[in-house]
Structure 1
Amino acid sequence: MAPLFFTVAVNIGVACALRQSLPPSSVDVPSDNKTAKARSHHSSDGAAGDAALQEVLEGLALKHGECDLCATKWLFVMSTGRSGSTTVLEMMGSVPGFYLAGENGGMMNKQFDMFKHMRLAGNSGCSAWAHGPISQHGMFCAIQYYITEAIGAAAFQATHTIGFKEIRWGVDATVANFMLQVFPCARFIISTRLDLIKQLASESQAEWSYDTNLKKATSMLEKWQSNHRDKATLIHLEQFSVNWFNMLLRWLNVTDCSFKSLVHTNDDGRTTIRHEHNNLTEGTCHMA
């Protein structure tokens, strides 16, 4: 249901804002038959979208409106490309009771757009898309539910901590701040790199680049972490060590076990080297 929710929300938000920004003649008076037909088609689409939106909202409100946003333990790896985030993912995924998924194409950017345009549509004054009050808390519950399903974590109900790693955060803190709203009790691992020249060279070798302005993206993530030290910790690729990852376990309230070694992934930028997790830790992990 969530993908439909997102699509309808964006369409009505943009359309409603555009409708209000145009002069009356631009909206209401077709200049020719082709325009009239297009306008008629748009009206029917709007009605269908309105009905679909109402159905989606009612279902989400009934199922998730009263959730506890802190009931699930969430952990996210927020990173720039080629800065060791896949190694962090593999290391934390090896801890018994942890489930961390890989990248998802910037899923939270899409969820933020959904949230933003739903509010725009609700406050626009367009009667064609009018709806009753939408609970912000209910929307955050729905997003948590959707993310759980989308990353494949729903099948691991006994898992202690779930989350994902992502490198698509842009150059401002808008979506990072949105993460704190949706996941108020989550923990965040910020993974960046000190040597940006080598990082850019590594991206070039891999034949892709996700950040057009690596310096700004790195600065944003590091500043965001410094403003949220109670929830976020920072690690540079150049500082990776078994000792640091063991300190990370304690920060996450994981006791009685330790890492014995590091994994190394994405060596050539094109393939991910998967590692057997059985020999990465020793002891029996206990979690608060």
Structure 2
Amino acid sequence: MWERITRRLARSHLRERDETIARLRGERDRARHRVSVFERDTRVEYLFVLTYGRSGSTLAQGILNSIPGYLIRGENRQILRHVWAYDKTGVAERRVQRRKQGERGVEKGSSGSRSPLFGMDNYAHGAALRHARKLAVATILRPEPDTRVTGFKEILWGEPDTPDFVRWLQDVFPGARFVINTRDLESVSHSAWWSKDPDALAELQEREAMLMRLRDQLGDAAYHIKYDEFTANPEVLHGLFEWLGEPFDVETVRAVLDVRHSFRPRTDRSGETDEEETGEPVADPP
């Protein structure tokens, strides 16, 4: 009898041990996953494509994504501008509060719980930048296990404060680089929705002027490519690949150029052909 009891107790202890081991292993695996997600933004490099609509940027996106380890996402309606506005507001209020503290002769950053803006004099700008990066990586970029370089392409760079926004992006994504893509503006102005705007050419000229200012501002962190040139002769992209530090395979690039990178026209209820308001042209300009 005692022998049966002893075996039963032993089996019970073994079961408890196994359950504890399984639970601890589960906690370990979950912790490893959290750490991998937390560190995911530090193991990749960042690359962004700056352009305007109908410039061939989806094709440029495809060329970049043909490089092993590259994951360049598409447009996101400049969603990060909202995060920038958040951070900009916090930084501005911290500056105001500390200026007022200096005028009163009190220690900067010493607001107390009786202050209506308690704590804003110590707004954590550095933490905001880190978490902005983590937010973007986790929700927009979503790098895969083999991703080395990630980013996105965007066509909305026409706001007057765009240079300041790009500086903030550089703070959020340390070491980020920027590909600036342009196309013959006369051709763009006759493409898709631009063709319906009588002021299209003037607006496009303004947008391209902004891109050129950004190119000058970014210096070596930017590289300018031209749709009309690389579709006519893919060899001109050798300089881009050299700037990226990647091997250049012109046949791979040609294979990308042979694939449609655009949207398809749609027909509205009147029977007239229309086109989406996003997307870029195919390799051969319309």
Which bracket does the TM-score occupy, shorter chain normalised? 0.5 to 0.7
Give SS of 1:77's match. Answer: strand
- Return the offset for 1:169: 1.6
Quick one: which amino acid aligns to residue 249 of structure 1? Answer: F
Aligned alpha-carbon RMSD (Å): 3.4
**Equivalent residue for 2:178?**
188
1:103–1:123: structure 2 CA closer, same or farther, 3 Å change rule? Answer: same
Answer whether contact 2:141 2:151 (CA < 8 A) is retained. Answer: no
Provide Cα deviations, 1:157-192, integer angstroms capped at 9, x if missing partner: 331101100111224322222222222301110012
Is the aligned partner of 1:165 residue 2:153? yes
- Aligned mates of 1:254, 1:85 — CA distance in 2: 20
**Equivalent residue for 2:234?**
242
Quick one: which amino acid aligns to residue 148 of structure 2? Answer: H
Answer whether contact 1:81 1:203 (CA < 8 A) is retained. Answer: no
- Return the offset for 1:137: 2.5
- Aligned mates of 1:254, 1:140 — CA distance in 2: 29
Answer whether contact 1:99 1:162 (CA < 8 A) is retained. Answer: yes
- Aligned mates of 2:195, 2:141 — CA distance in 1: 27
Quick one: which amino acid aligns to residue 191 of structure 2? Answer: S
**Equivalent residue for 1:73?**
45
1:210–1:87: structure 2 CA closer, same or farther, 3 Å change rule? Answer: farther
**Equivalent residue for 1:134?**
123
1:116–1:210: structure 2 CA closer, same or farther, 3 Å change rule? Answer: farther
- Return the offset for 1:205: 6.0
- Aligned mates of 1:198, 1:211 — CA distance in 2: 9
Correspondent of 1:232 among 202, 218, 222 = 222
1:239–1:142: structure 2 CA closer, same or farther, 3 Å change rule? Answer: same
**Equivalent residue for 1:105?**
77
Give SS of 2:219's match. Answer: coil
Q: After superposition, where does 1:44-59 map in structure 2 within 5 Å?
A: none
Answer whether contact 2:45 2:150 (CA < 8 A) is retained. Answer: yes
**Equivalent residue for 1:213?**
203
Answer whether contact 2:46 2:177 (CA < 8 A) is retained. Answer: yes
Quick one: which amino acid aligns to residue 200 of structure 1? Answer: S
Answer 1 or 2: which has greater helix percent: 2
Under a length normalisation based on structure 2, what TM-score does the superposition of the two structures give?
0.62
- Return the offset for 1:251: 1.3
Give SS of 2:174's match. Answer: coil
Give SS of 2:224's match. Answer: strand
Provide Cα deviations, 1:10-69, integer angstroms capped at 9, x if missing partner: xxxxxxxxxxxxxxxxxxxxxxxxxxxxxxxxxxxxxxxxxxxxxxxxxxxxx9xx9898
- Aligned mates of 2:159, 2:202 — CA distance in 1: 9
* Worse-matched range after superposition: 96-105 or 215-224: 215-224
Which sections of structure 1, spanning at least 5 residues, go unmatched? 1-62, 276-288
- Aligned mates of 1:105, 1:246 — CA distance in 2: 30
Give SS of 1:189's match. Answer: strand
Which sections of structure 2, spanning at least 5 residues, go unmatched? 1-34, 98-110, 266-274
Q: Which has the larger radius of gyration?
A: 2
Residues matched between the structures, number: 209
Quick one: which amino acid aligns to residue 76 of structure 2? Answer: N
